[in-house]
Structure formats: structure tokens, C-alpha cells
Chain A
């Protein structure tokens, strides 16, 4: 790759308890990454997952030298408010353990329409989910993710969106809690049409 060292080596896509066991086993992937770190080839060790938040929490508890975790965080996920989507809990535990946090899917709007409605090659953005794409939406999503306390808000993959994300980051001036709740509430009702409610 023409580089001397990897700054952050992330074990990618933790999904099952058995994988956590395999990674942390004596001869597991982490042992190899640690060897690489001892040799000076890797600086920091991280983990990515958009799976069960409890499993990510278990990883934070079990891997003493874990330095970062990467997981989804956006208003739609925050609005679910259940254990299956408790990435806020991951954020909290990571902070307690002084583990850095990288938030992905901050700009995700939802899944793409099925292939039957639109061919994959006709998608306007090179993301595997449909992103928000207006500057005001991108700014709201950035402000929300940053205000939740992430170490880093990860930009969406499509280069067309990155300049808008950088602009949002430049203008970032926090987002107060009442506004954060407002963004979450709007997502909660958009995403769960039943039962319809008169109130918040």
C-alpha cells in the first residue's frame, strides 16, 4: 500500500457473540493486531459494528486496549429508544472507558427503493443507503451527531456529499438539547406510522 504504518486498525463488522470470542481468543485476530502494534506497524486498535449494541458494550468491557468503536448514530436510530438500537448506551460506555467514538450513518435517510423500482446504477449517490442530500438536512444531521458527543462524525461515502458535510462541520456551533429532541421526535413519527399519535 506504500505506507509504513496503519494509524487505526479496526476489526470490522462485529455481529455475533461467537465472533467476539474468536477475535479475543488467545490466537484470535486481536492477538495478530497486537503483534503488529508491538512491531510498530499499527498505532491504535478499534472495532466497528452496526449490530447488537449489547455486544459492542461487551467488547468495550472485554478488550482492555480497545481505543475506538465505530457504530451508527442518527436521529432515526436514537428515536427507536429500545435496547436493540441503544447506540447511545454504547456512546456512554465508551466515554466512561475513554474509548473514542466514530459515528457512521449520520447522514442516512433510509434504504434505497428496491431494484424493481430503480436500477442500482441509477442511484444518484454511491452509498449503500439513501442519504439526506440537501445542505440544510446535512447540516442538521451533522449538528445532531456532533452534539451527541461523538469523537468523529464519519462522512458519507459519496464525494458529492463530502463538501456539504465539511461545510456543515465548519459552521458547527452545537445543537441544544430541545432541538436535538425535536429532530429525534420528527424521525420517530416519520419512521413508525403506527400507532399514529396526536402528540409527542
Chain B
């Protein structure tokens, strides 16, 4: 197989989600490309082409750096609600850890767009997190992050959709449910995750007037220190087929 990205740190969650999907030779789409973990996983599994779609310039640059030498990769800077991809042009769509970043309105629009570009017979993999248990301390950090985001942008930063809900959303767009598997149980929320979420909360709070933002920044720092790294919740993988 061509390319310099084979086996470069593909997370086990990605490998487990793709393990029972036909990737070899397929035209694939990583929806919400992050640092390109799924793109790297798709390339490793022999994808014919991978469109890594993200609206974030830093993420696009990161994926380009990581996988750009492989001529099977196209990094596409686009809003996932309206991509430049042609209808019926993709044979495998992966949304790994994407949906929790979408509020319900955006989730609906992105689901419609992913369905539009999917070819007959294609596969869809949606990996995400169940809502955290009521007693999970890390919920407090996400609550501060969401409060800052609601006040700054009018929408939550994070929404953890139950697996059953995402299943119904994509079935509602015509996808046939194939299987569900557990990727992580429990989910490790490490110091690295906590600091990334604290930064995101502070960044949103920083865009607010000082009297609103400053207390939220302090709350984020305090809660993150209180919470500490913990493993809780579940990450799941849903797979669907498109059959007409």
C-alpha cells in the first residue's frame, strides 16, 4: 500500500470502529477531521480515497501535516452542513466523536448532508459518547464549558447523545441500522482531556463581557482542579448501510 501514514498512531477506538467495515479501495469521508485519527485509520485499512472534511483551519493543517503526503487524501475545508462533495460520491462515511460537538439543529443538517453525499450501498459509522452518569464529577466541567458557550454563541459546546437517539436520527434519514458496539467502557477523561476542555471553556468565557466571563473562567479552573482525571461513561460505535 502507498503512503507514509500507515500505522502512525491510529487509536484503538478507530480501529475497533472500522474493523468490520469494508474500507479497502473505498472512497471514504472523515466528517469532522480533528487531528486526522480516522483518516489515518482509513488509509491504514487500504481506503482508495479519503476526504478529510473540517471547518477548522488548525485541524485542516494538522491533517495535512499528518497525512497530506499520501496522495489518497484530500483535506477539505468546509462546513459539514454544506460540503462541496457531489451527491452519491462517498462509499464509507465516518463521524468519529463528531456528533457531541453538534447541537440538535446542526446534527440534523449534518445528518442530511452526510446522507446526500453517500452512494447507494454505502456504509456509515457514527462513534460517540452516551450521556455521562449523573454522579460523574467531570459533568461539572462540561456544564461550565456549555454555560460559557451558550452565553457566547447561543449554543452548547457539547451534547452527549444516547446511542439510541443517534440511531433514530440516521434511520430517519433512510439509513438501515447494522450494528452497535462499545468502543470504550469506561471512557478515560485524562488530565490532557480536562485541560483541553478547560481551555475551551475559558476561550468561550473570554469572548463574554468581563462580569460574565471572569467568574466562568475561574469556575472552569476550579472545577477542573476539583474533578481530576477519571474514567466514566461509554463510547459507542453505530454502523449503518444505505440501501434503496
**Contacts from A to B (Cβ < 8 Å):** 78-83, 86, 176-186, 188-190, 192-193, 195-200
Contacts and interface: CB of A to CB of B under 8 A. Distances in A.
Contacts of B137: none
B33 to A, nearest CB: 12
Contacts of A185: 11-13, 184, 187-188
B193 interface: yes
Nearest to B195: A196
Interface stretch (B1-9, B111-119, B208-216): B1-9
A198 B196 CA distance: 6
Contacts, number: 91
B183 A188 contact: no
Given A81-B11, A86-B7, A192-B9, 14 more contacts: A81-B7, A82-B7, A178-B234, A181-B16, A181-B183, A182-B187, A184-B11, A185-B13, A196-B199, A197-B35, A198-B97, A198-B197, A198-B200, A200-B11
Contacts of B186: 179, 182
26 contacts: A79-B12, A81-B10, A176-B185, A177-B16, A178-B182, A181-B12, A181-B184, A182-B185, A182-B188, A184-B12, A185-B184, A185-B188, A186-B229, A186-B231, A189-B188, A190-B191, A196-B196, A196-B199, A197-B34, A198-B97, A198-B193, A198-B196, A199-B34, A199-B97, A200-B13, A200-B184
Contacts of B199: 196
Contacts of A189: 188, 190-193
Nearest to A190: B190
B190 A186 contact: yes
A143 to B, nearest CB: 14
B6 A81 contact: no
A192 B190 CA distance: 11
A137 B30 CA distance: 35
Main secondary structure of the interface of A (DSSP, over half): helix
B13 A197 contact: no
B9 A200 contact: no
Nearest to A184: B12
B78 to A, nearest CB: 20
Scoring A176, A182, A189 by chain B CB atoms within 10 A of each residue's CB, the highest score goes to: A182
B235 interface: yes
Contacts of B8: 81-82
A81 B193 contact: no
Interface of B: 6-13, 16, 34-35, 62, 96-97, 100, 182-188, 190-193, 195-197, 199-200, 229, 231, 234-235
Nearest to B182: A178
A45 to B, nearest CB: 30
Contacts of B96: 199
A180 B229 CA distance: 18
Contacts of A196: 192-193, 195-196, 199
Nearest to B97: A199
Nearest to B157: A198
Nearest to B235: A200
A197 B192 contact: yes
A78 B10 CA distance: 10
Contacts of B6: 83
The list of the 6 closest CB pairs from A to B, nearest first, reads A186-B188, A199-B97, A178-B185, A178-B182, A189-B190, A189-B192
Contacts of A180: 12
A178 B184 contact: yes
Contact of A190 (B192, B234, B235): B192
Nearest to A200: B13
A79 B199 CA distance: 25
A110 to B, nearest CB: 15
B97 A200 contact: yes
Contacts of A177: 16
B12 A197 contact: no
Contacts of A181: 12-13, 16, 183-184
Contact of B184 (A78, A182, A190, A198): A182
A88 B187 CA distance: 22
